[in-house]
Structure 1
C-alpha cells in the first residue's frame, strides 16, 4: 500500500516538478547547445559519399585473451568498444563534448541536470535481431558498476535511483546536480542482458559480446588476430549520425610482439596503416620500394586537443618525495633539451601542463575566477604558484647542465640533503635512492639518461623493467617509487579528473592518482569544474586545476607530438575535413574507406 501511495504521489507531482525547465532534444552538450541542428544529415568530418566495402588491416602490440573490454580480468581487444558497442548517445569529435542520439532518439534533462531521461529508438536492435530494451539498458548500467572496470562504479555511485517513465523511456536521478553526469550515463555501453544468463560478467571470455553496433566478430585467435565483419542487417546504418562512417566491410587486427615486427609487416603490405612515433624512422625509414614508387602515403594529422601529461611520476606517498623542493630539484636535473635532441631529433615539444596548448591551460598569474578558486588554499600551494614566474627548467641542450645541477643541489640542501663522500645523505643518515619502474623498453633510454644525471648529485636511481602483469599489479597498489605514465586529456575534463587526482586515490587502490595528489586546492578546482554552467567559469576551473598539478611538481613532464604521423597504403582514404580532436577516437577506422 505504501508503494502504491508513493507511486500515485510521484505521478501526481510529475507534471508540477518532474520536468520543470526540461525540453526533449536530439543532443546534449557539456556547455551551451549542440552545434548541429536536429535535422543534421552527417557529422562534419564524415563523408556520406565515401566508397563502401573492402578490408582494412591494422596492427597491435602484445596479445589478448578476452573479448570483453569492460572487466579487469584478461587482456582485452579494445577495438570491440568502437566497432561493436553502442551507447544511448554518441560523441561528435568535432566538438569539445557534445553527444547526439544513438540508441536513444531523445534526451531530456533539467537546467540543473539533477536527472536525465532517455527514450530508446523503437528500431534499435542487437546483432541477433532482438530489440534493445529498457531492461538491457538498466542491467548494463548496474552490471558495469558491480562487476566492470572501477571507473564505472565511481560515477554510478552518483545515481540515486532509476525510474522507468514510459514504454521506451528511463530516467536516472542523481544524488546531487552534476553537469557531466547526464553525458556520462549517455555514453555507457549497452549490452544484451540475456546473453549473460548463466555466465559471470566478470569472468574473462573469448565468447563475443552480443551488441548493437556496426560490426560483429567473425573470427578470433587469441594473441594473433581478430576479424570484424560488417553486419549487413545493422539497424543504425541509415541514421544521420552514421552517414559516412563504418565504410569498410571487414576490419582485421593483427598482433605483433614488438614495434619492429609491426613496421616490417607494414613494409611488406601485411598491414595497411602504421602510426609512427619514431622520428628517426619517419625521417629515414621509408626508402623501401613501395614507398618510393608512391604506393605508401605519409601524412601528419594536426589536432587541437590538450597535450595531456606524460612523464616521470613521483609517488608522493613515499617520504622521499613528499617535499616539493626535492621534486623540483629532480626536475632541475632532468635535461629535457639534450634528451629530446638525442633520442628524438628534437622533433617533439615539451609538455608544459596537462591542458597545455589550449584555453584550459594556465598562463601567467592567476586572476579572476581562477584566483577565487585557489586563493583560500594559497598557504598550501608551493611558493609562487599563483604568480607568473613558473617555468620548467631549460638547458642549452649540450648535456652539461651545470647551472641546473647547482640549483638542484641547493634545493636538496634546503630540504635537508647533503653530499657526503659522493653520496647524498639525509636525516638519520638515510641515503637518497629510488627505483624507476617500467613495463617495457619504450621509456628506458630516457630513464637511463635521467638516472645517470642524478648520480652527479649523489642520488642512486635504478631502472627496473618488469613484465606487464607485475607492472599492472604494482601500479594498481601504488607499490613503486617512480613510474612513467600518460594521462590523455580532452577539451571537456570532468568527473574523470577526480579519478585521476582525487584525495580518495591516495589510499584507495585502482585509481589513476598515481602521484598520490592530496591537495585541497585540486579538490576545489575539480568541484568548480563539475559545477560550472558558464564556459568562462569552466575554463577558469580547468586552469586552476592545471596550475595546481603543474606547480606541485607531481610529474616531470616529457614530450608530446602536436601532430600524428601516419603512413598508409595506396587505395585507402579519409575526408579532407579533420575533426577537432584529429587522429583520435572516432577517426580511424571510423571515417576511412578503401577506394579500389
Structure 2
C-alpha cells in the first residue's frame, strides 16, 4: 500500500488538456485505454439477488436532501456522477458521465465533457441543462454536504453542446475532483415540486445502473439493475453492477436482523461484533457450506467510532471533564466483555494508516504547522497524547482516580456520593442511543456502572431511528454514539466533519461542536498542499488536534471486515486498498450458482 500511496501523492502538476481521469497530484494510475477497474471482473455474469438486513426504518427515498430518514445506500445507487472514485487509489477519479476532464494549470477551473447517448432510467436523454440544474439545486437546497463545494464556485457555465466549466473562487486543489462527484438528477422530474421536501411519494429517476423497483416505507427497498443502462461499456463500469436485484430489508433490532440471515431471508451480512462472529456463526447453513464466511483485509484508516461529547453543552465545554470521562471509560474491561479482547482500540482518527499521528511530541512540519496555534491547543497536541490504558479489572482503580483528579481540577468534587460543583449542582448528562443497537446498549450499561464510581449518574434515552436522526441533526443530545469513516484522501468533507463554520448548521456532521482555529487551518493546509510531505504533515497535525481534544471516547476498530454471505455471491480475488467500502459490495460482486 505504501508504494501505491506514494504514487498517488507524487508532486507532479496536471497539465491543462482533456484527460480520461484526474488525480489530486500527478496522473491517475490507470491508462486511457484501461479495460476495467483492477479489482473488478469484466467477465462477471449478471443476474441473481443480494439481500441485506438493515436495522431501523426510513421515511424518504431522496438521499440528496437533509429532511427525512433515508437508507444510506441510496446515495450511492441513485445518482450517477461525472467521475467515479477508484477504491485502489486514494485520490483518483475516472470518467463515468464525462468522457473527458480538463483543468487549469493551478486547478483554478475544471471542465467536463459529457459522453454521447446518456439516458435516464425512464429512457429520456440526460442533457447539460440537467447537469447545470443538479449542481445549483444540490448546492442551494440540497443536503448540507453539497453546500461547501457550491460556495467555492465562482461561475458555472456551459462551454459547448456537451461541456460545462466550473471556475473557483479559492485556491483548493480538491475542488476539481469534488466537481466530478456530484449526482446528476433529472430536472423535469422536479418541476413544480419542492426538492428539499420530497419523501417516499417520489421515486427518483436515475442515470445510474440501478433504479428503485419496489418499496414499502420502513420495511424494504428493492433496486433493480436497469437492463437498458446507457453506461454498461464505460471502462469504469465494466464488471460492476452485475446483480439484478439489490434488496434492503429493515428490522427493528440486531437480533431480528441476524435471525433473518440465519433463516435465509437475507443472504449477505456484515458482522461488526467479533464475539458473535466467533460464537454464533456455526448454524446449519454455515455448516453445510451454503453460507461462506469471508474475512477481508483493508488498508484504510480506522476512522473514529465511539461516544461523542457535545461541547455545545456546558458540562462538556471543559476539556478536563471530557478527559475525566475518557479515563472513567474502562475500555480494556469492556473490550474483553464484548469481543474477548480481539479488537484493538482506535488510537486516533487516522490510526492504522500512514496519515495517523505519530507517538510522542510533534516534530518537523507537523510542529511547524501547529506552533502558531499553541495557545489554543488542548494539552497533548504538541507534547504528545495517548489514550489511557486500564489494567483490565472491573474496578479500574487507576482510571477512576485519574478521572476524579481531572474533575477536581475542573471544579467538580464528590459531595455525599455525588459529583457536584461549588454551587452544589450535580454533574449529569443524557446518553442518546438508537433503538436496535444492542451492542451499544451493553457498552453503555458497563460505562454507567463505571461512572457511578465517580459520583455521576447519567440518564440513557433510547429512541427510534427517525427521532435519533432528528435529535442529532439539531444537536439535541449530550453524548451519543458516533461513527465517522475516514479515507486516505481527506479533503473538503473535513470542514463538514470538524469545521467551525458548520458547527451550528442544522443537519451538519460536526456532532462534537468543535470550533478550533487550528482545526480549520489544518484542513486548509491539506487542501492547498502541493507536495506529499506537506499533505501528510497537515493530516497528521489535524489528527493530533482532534485526538488530543478529547471529543470522542473511542472504542475498538475494525482492521478487517467480516462478511457472511451466500455461496452463490462472489467477489474478485483482488481486493482494493480501501477493502470493503462503498463501491465494492455489491458493486463488483456477482451472483452465480455453483
Using the alignment, how far apart are the partners of 2:313 and 2:220 within structure 1? 42
Instruction: Determine which of 480, 486, 491 is the counterpart of 1:494.
Output: 491
Distance 1:250 1:423, change over 3 A: closer
Q: Offset of 1:218 from its aligned partner? A: 2.4
Using the alignment, how far apart are the partners of 1:130 and 1:345 within structure 2? 55
Q: How many residues align?
A: 576
Q: Offset of 1:150 from its aligned partner? A: 1.3
Using the alignment, how far apart are the partners of 1:512 and 1:552 within structure 2? 17
Task: Quote the residue 2:143 is aligned against.
Answer: 149
Q: Which moved more, 1:569-578 or 1:121-130?
A: 121-130
Q: Offset of 1:21 from its aligned partner? A: 5.4
Kindly indicate whether the alpha-carbon contact (under 8 Å) linking 1:311 and 1:557 is maintained by their aligned counterparts in 2.
yes
Task: Quote the residue 1:524 is aligned against.
Answer: 521
Q: Offset of 1:82 from its aligned partner? A: 2.9
Alignment partner of 1:101 is 2:101: no
Instruction: Determine which of 580, 583, 588 is the counterpart of 1:586.
Output: 583
Q: Secondary structure at the match of 1:36?
A: coil
Alignment partner of 1:577 is 2:577: no
Kindly indicate whether the alpha-carbon contact (under 8 Å) linking 1:352 and 1:392 is maintained by their aligned counterparts in 2.
yes
Q: Secondary structure at the match of 1:350?
A: coil
Instruction: Determine which of 364, 369, 390 is the counterpart of 2:365.
Output: 369
Distance 1:82 1:322, change over 3 A: closer
Distance 1:514 1:525, change over 3 A: same
Using the alignment, how far apart are the partners of 1:448 and 1:61 within structure 2? 20
Using the alignment, how far apart are the partners of 1:97 and 1:21 within structure 2? 17
Kindly indicate whether the alpha-carbon contact (under 8 Å) linking 1:47 and 1:244 is maintained by their aligned counterparts in 2.
yes
Kindly indicate whether the alpha-carbon contact (under 8 Å) linking 2:66 and 2:507 is maintained by their aligned counterparts in 1.
no
Using the alignment, how far apart are the partners of 1:507 and 1:196 within structure 2? 29
Q: Secondary structure at the match of 1:560?
A: coil
Q: Secondary structure at the match of 1:458?
A: coil
Q: Which moved more, 1:204-213 or 1:117-126?
A: 204-213
Task: Quote the residue 1:379 is aligned against.
Answer: 375
Using the alignment, how far apart are the partners of 1:228 and 1:505 within structure 2? 33
Task: Quote the residue 1:328 is aligned against.
Answer: 323
Using the alignment, how far apart are the partners of 2:253 and 2:467 within structure 1? 19
Kindly indicate whether the alpha-carbon contact (under 8 Å) linking 1:332 and 1:405 is maintained by their aligned counterparts in 2.
yes
Task: Quote the residue 2:10 is aligned against.
Answer: none
Alignment of 1:24-63 (within 5 A): 24-63=18-57
Q: Secondary structure at the match of 2:167?
A: strand
Q: Secondary structure at the match of 2:259?
A: helix
Alignment of 1:44-443 (within 5 A): 44-202=38-196, 203-364=198-359, 365-388=361-384, 390-440=385-435, 441-442=437-438, 443=440
Using the alignment, how far apart are the partners of 1:419 and 1:78 within structure 2? 44
Q: Secondary structure at the match of 2:502?
A: helix
Using the alignment, how far apart are the partners of 1:130 and 1:486 within structure 2? 39
- List gaps (5 residues or longer) in structure 2: 1-13
Q: Secondary structure at the match of 1:407?
A: helix
Q: Offset of 1:486 from its aligned partner? A: 1.0
Distance 1:413 1:115, change over 3 A: same
TM-score of the superposed pair, with normalisation by structure 2: 0.93
Using the alignment, how far apart are the partners of 2:410 and 2:57 within structure 1? 45
TM-score of the superposed pair, with normalisation by structure 1: 0.93
Kindly indicate whether the alpha-carbon contact (under 8 Å) linking 1:140 and 1:189 is maintained by their aligned counterparts in 2.
yes
